[in-house]
A = this chain, B = another copy of it.
Amino acid sequence: MLSYTEENYLKALLMLSFQNEERPEAGTNEMAAYLGVKPATATDMLKKLKEKELVTYQKYGKILLTELGRKKGIIILRKHRLWETFLYEKLDFSWDEVHEVAEQLEHIQSAKLVDKLEEFLNFPEFDPHGDPIPKANGDIPAIDKVLLAEVKTGESCKVVAVKDTSALFLQYLEKLKVTIGTKIKVLEVIDFDGSLSIQIEKEEARSVSMKFAESLFVKR
């Protein structure tokens, strides 16, 4: 049985590994920053997780999940994303409110609960942010996505996920009436600063920053 905190370390490591699939290992400071603790605290916990064979770790080295650790991490992530979906779809939570509560709900221990919840939600493949929800067997649905910033002038695409899930960005998206499934056409790319002029559904053209375009995943 893993503690609340141990679970958070595994999930953090899994999330960090997603950020750079080719180099999935993380550093101590990186972990600590992600979890909001001091590096010394992370070192302690990493030793403990190594004892439990959940991570490979050695002094001054990079950290990697073991097969077991990855499996456990995926279970937490599955729960997190199913709960987010529940809050969004059934309880009318907004895009930017679901994360905080799901952070707590993901630690509820009951295999039956997760599976029943998934069934209740009709086996969703993606959460409200467009992130894939791991299946009970650990498989993660693939999604064909590129950053909006990679879309060429004149091309149209459909929003499939958000890369930045901060409340500020999500609230901005809401203001722009952009959500998963929204159609966006790239009208012009300004090479000077990477900003672009886009058309959201059938609205007026508007300009968004490069930062914006690098925070949104779309399907061409």
Copy tally for this chain in the complex stands at 2
Chain B residues closer than 8 Å to A23, beta-carbon distance: none
Question: Interface readout for A115-135 with B: 1 if CB under 8 Å, 0 if not?
Answer: 011001000000000000000
Q: Say whether A109 faces chain B, with CB atoms less than 8 Å apart.
A: yes
Given B100, B104, B108, which contacts A101 in the complex, CB threshold below 8 Å?
A: B108
Q: Give residues 81-101 of A contacting B (CB, 8 Å).
A: 87, 90-93, 97, 100-101
Chain B residues closer than 8 Å to A143, beta-carbon distance: none
DSSP majority for the A interface? helix
Q: How many residues of chain A are within 8 Å of chain B by beta carbon?
A: 18
**In contact, B113 and A91 (Cβ under 8 angstroms):** yes
Q: Chain B nearest CB: distance from A80 CB in Å?
A: 13
Chain B residues closer than 8 Å to A112, beta-carbon distance: 93, 97
Q: Say whether A105 faces chain B, with CB atoms less than 8 Å apart.
A: yes
Q: Say whether A110 faces chain B, with CB atoms less than 8 Å apart.
A: yes
Chain B residues closer than 8 Å to A101, beta-carbon distance: 108, 110, 113
**Bound Cα distance from A87 to B87, whole angstroms:** 15
Chain B residues closer than 8 Å to A105, beta-carbon distance: 105, 108
Chain B residues closer than 8 Å to A93, beta-carbon distance: 112, 116
**Bound Cα distance from A117 to B104, whole angstroms:** 16
Question: Interface readout for A170-190 with B: 1 if CB under 8 Å, 0 if not?
Answer: 000000000000000000000
Q: Chain B nearest CB: distance from A100 CB in Å?
A: 8
Chain B residues closer than 8 Å to A108, beta-carbon distance: 101, 104-105
A residues at B contact (CB < 8 Å): 87, 90-93, 97, 100-101, 104-105, 108-110, 112-113, 116-117, 120
8 pairs of residues in contact across A and B, judged by CB atoms under 8 Å: A87-B113, A91-B116, A91-B117, A91-B120, A93-B116, A101-B108, A101-B110, A101-B113
